[in-house]
Amino acid sequence: METMTWNQQIVKKNNKALVLQLIIEKEPISRADIAQVSGLHKATVSSLVNELLEEELIYESGPGESSGGRRPVILHFNKVAGFAIGIDIGVNYVLSVLTDLKGNILIEKNQPLAQTVYSEVMSTVKNMIQSLINEMPGSRYGIVGIGAGVPGIVNKEGSVLLAPNLGWKNVQLKTDLENEFRVPVMIENEANAGAVGEQQLGAGQDYQNIIYISAGIGIGVGIILNKVLYQGRNGFSGEMGHMIIDLNGKLCSCGSRGCWEAYSSENALLEMAGKNTDSLEALIKRAENSDEAAKHLFGEIGNYLGFGINNIINTFNPDQVIIGNRLALAKEWMVQPIRTIIENHTLSHHQKELQLDFSKLGKYSTVLGVTAFVVENFIKEEARTS
Name the site residues for a copy of itself (rule: CB under 8 A).
Answer: 1-2, 4-8, 10-11, 14-15, 18, 37-40, 153, 161-162, 208-209, 221, 225-226, 230-240, 242-249, 254-258, 307, 310-311, 314-319, 344-347, 349-350, 352-353
Write the burial class of residue 83 (CB in 10 Å: 0-12 exposed, 13-18 middle, 19+ buried): buried
Q: Minimum distance between the CB of residue 101 and DNA, rounded to whole angstroms?
A: 22
Name the strand (E) or helix (H) holding 13. Answer: helix 8-26
Name the binder of 153 from a copy of itself, DNA, none, CB < 5-8 A by kind.
a copy of itself
How far is Cα 339 from Cα 215, in angstroms, rounded to an integer? 17
The DSSP 8-state label assigned to residue 386 in this structure reads -
When asked if residue 6 is in the footprint of DNA (CB under 7 A), the reply is yes
Site for DNA in 153-182 (CB under 7 A): none
Minimum distance from CB of 256 to a copy of itself (Å)? 4
Question: Least separation, in Å, of the C-beta of 326 and a copy of itself?
Answer: 22
CB neighbours (10 Å) of residue 101? 25
Give the nearest distance from C-beta 23 to DNA in angstroms.
Answer: 12
Binding of DNA by 32 (CB under 7 A): yes
- Distance in angstroms (rounded) separating the CA atoms of residues 263 and 93: 24
**Per-residue string for binding with DNA, 68-107, x by CB under 7 A?**
xxxxxx----------------------------------
Asked whether position 255 contacts DNA by CB under 7 A, the answer is no
Give the HSE-up count for residue 178: Cα atoms under 13 Å, Cβ half-sphere. 11
DSSP string, 121-184: HHHHHHHHHHHHHHHPPP-SS-EEEEEEEESSEE-TTS-EEEETTTTEEEE-HHHHHHHHH-S-
Distance of closest approach, residue 351 Cβ to DNA, in angstroms: 42
Residue 124's Cβ-side half-sphere holds a number of Cα atoms within 13 Å equal to 22
Cβ proximity to DNA: between 37 and 347 the closer is: 37
Question: Rounded to an integer, what distance in angstroms lies between the CA atom of residue 164 and that of residue 9?
Answer: 46
93-99 and 105-112 beta bridge pairing: antiparallel
Residue 52 interacting with DNA (CB under 7 A) = no
Estimate the crossing angle of helix 118-135 against helix 173-181, to 10 degrees: 40
Indicate which of a copy of itself, DNA, none lies near residue 9 (CB less than 5 to 8 Å, by partner kind). Answer: DNA
Shortest Å, Cβ 25 to DNA: 17
Ramachandran bin of 376, using left for φ above 0, alpha for ψ from -120 to 50, beta for the remaining angles: alpha
- Closest to DNA by CB, 30 vs 189, is 30
Least separation in angstroms between residue 141's CB and a copy of itself is: 26
Smallest separation, CB 261 to a copy of itself (Å):
11
Q: Which residues pair with 169 in a beta bridge?
A: 162
Which residues are CB-neighbours of 62 under 8 A, at least 6 positions away? 74
Q: Which is nearer to DNA, 72 or 299 (CB)?
A: 72
Which lies closer to DNA via its Cβ, residue 13 or residue 363?
A: 13
Segment interacting with DNA (CB under 7 A) among 37-45, 267-275, 291-299, 352-360: 37-45
Let me know: does 334 contact 365? Beta carbons within 8 Å: no
Question: Residue 56 binds which entry of a copy of itself, DNA, none, with Cβ cut-offs from 5 to 8 Å by kind?
Answer: none
Q: Which residues bind DNA (CB under 7 A)?
A: 5-9, 11-12, 15-16, 30-33, 39-44, 46-50, 63, 66-73
